[in-house]
Structure 1
């Protein structure tokens, strides 16, 4: 499949979280996934240890079971986070409604997405994730690779979305996929599919002047 004709800036600004525009009927060629993974592993990683692993799930039964854990994580989270108050402006409400519709679509159809990718990082033990420094080092060794995977997917007409609800049931997902739970941490669940159209645009973002601090906060 030919790559999309995108400049580097276009690729960086139009790689969106795709939920409603994932093509649920078109298979994804294994070679495309492997190309994206090869580019992902060119990402920087702490001390160049390259601790990443990627579980690529295409089996329909396993996809359905993994989607079930994702839904369970949303409806019955084991570690619910307290919600903060929301800005009730018209623009904010409209944006959240659009997001809710998009999220509901993925909730309903995740099991139909042709490929589910679970990026993982090898750890010395669960204690490594207990402290702030350990967490920063660990996630800093997998997140850049996943983002490069998503960029590579976008350049090939594929859509992705970063999701984490299934991590409420990470141990069950590990048993499902044969992942050694004590020494391998799952970072996310990334649906992967061809997109319905390729005309994605930059998303609304806060002005950088509001979030940039020169020399001091």
Structure 2
């Protein structure tokens, strides 16, 4: 059963959910499968469909991934504090709320019922040139997964900090060297019912017509 959301509602209220992930309620694997099956309808370069999805439900594996994520997050937290000092007061208030929820997720990542890793066939060493064709064949599908999850009452968060330990996580899960991880999507039922569009800069500050 899906929520009664219009396309505009779905697109504007699918948020990164961190503090509101329900860590106690089990997530049926069938729901995750439905979300991934819909994600497979996303575009990929040359229709290669080189994506792979690793769904982690084992408690010990989730805990170990959470440990790697927290290690990487500790380094990120230091850099984040330096960036925050350069923000306007209005933006700083918003980012402070994001920081608080990010801190929470870093502590609880290993307790989230389902961890989904979106991966793509590539090479053991990524090319030094523009990698947009590679990741452009995976990330739309990952976003489609989040939309499908939202429609089914599941929350998720877009996270990549674990990639500081990509090889370690790959070894833990048996991911071969020619498959690269793109994003980690912690998934759980969300608590509460209210999601609203996030504050964004006005369109005309980022829109360029014909020329910059």
TM-score by length of 2: 0.94
Q: 1:58-73 maps to which residues of 2 (within 5 A)?
A: 58-73=57-72
Q: 2:210 aligns with which of 196, 207, 215?
A: 215
SS of structure 2 residue aligned to 1:126: coil
**Which one is further off, 8-17 or 100-109?**
100-109
1:87/1:41 CA distance change after superposition, 3 Å: same
The residue aligned with 2:180 is: 185
Residue 16 of structure 2: SS of its match in structure 1?
A: coil
- Quote the residue 2:35 is aligned against: 36
Q: Which of 146, 149, 159 lines up with 2:145 in the alignment?
A: 149
Instruction: Report the equivalent of 1:130.
Output: 128
Q: Distance in 2 between matches of 1:145 and 1:128?
A: 20
What is the Cα deviation at residue 85 of structure 1? 6.8
Q: How many pairs are equivalent? A: 209
Partner of residue 170, structure 1: 166
CA 1:75–1:200: 2 relative to 1, 3 Å: same
Deviation at 1:15, TM superposition (A): 0.2
Instruction: Let me know the Cα RMSD of the aligned residues.
Output: 1.6
Structure 1 stretches of 4+ moved >3 Å: 83-88, 126-129
After superposition, the C-alpha distances for 1:89-122 in whole angstroms (9 at most, x for unaligned) are 3212211211111011101111111000011000
Q: TM-score, normalized by length of structure 1?
A: 0.92
Distance in 2 of aligned mates of 1:96 and 1:69? 24
- Ranges in structure 2 where 5+ consecutive residues have no aligned partner: none
Does the 8 Å CA contact 2:84/2:92 hold for their aligned counterparts? no
5+ residue gaps, structure 1: none
Deviation at 1:86, TM superposition (A): 4.4
